[in-house]
Amino acid sequence: MTSFQHLDILAANSKLSAGEAVLVDIRDPQSYASAHIDGALHLNNDNLQRFMDETPTTTPVIVCCYHGNSSQQAAQFLVQQGYSEVYSLDGGFEAWRLQFPVVSATS
């Protein structure tokens, strides 16, 4: 069975900067609204089907959560739906915000 891969924030930043992947954020709506990684799509049960309908399964997807735990389950789910290149962001949003700028409600 195919599985997702782990991706550290430096490699994720490189992929995203080069336009080589899409980033989905699965944190709760309030946390996403408060601050998120620039370009991240907030993915939840309400828009998951639309995301899958509109995003080819060949598109590399990076899944982000708070600390890199819940994203592993979501990444595996996307693999099970046929996505061939899925990553869980190691350390999640918290690791990212310590190293890179984020979009926040106050900026």
Amino acid at 26: I
- Establish whether 65 is a catalytic residue: yes
Among 61, 65, 75, 89, the active-site one is: 65
Which of 41, 32, 46 lies closest to 61 in space, CA to CA?
41
- Looking from the CA of 11 toward its CB, the CA atoms found within 13 Å total 12
Cα–Cα separations (whole angstroms), residue 76 to 60, 84, 96, 99: 13, 11, 21, 26
The residue type at 102: V
Q: Catalytic amino acids?
A: 65
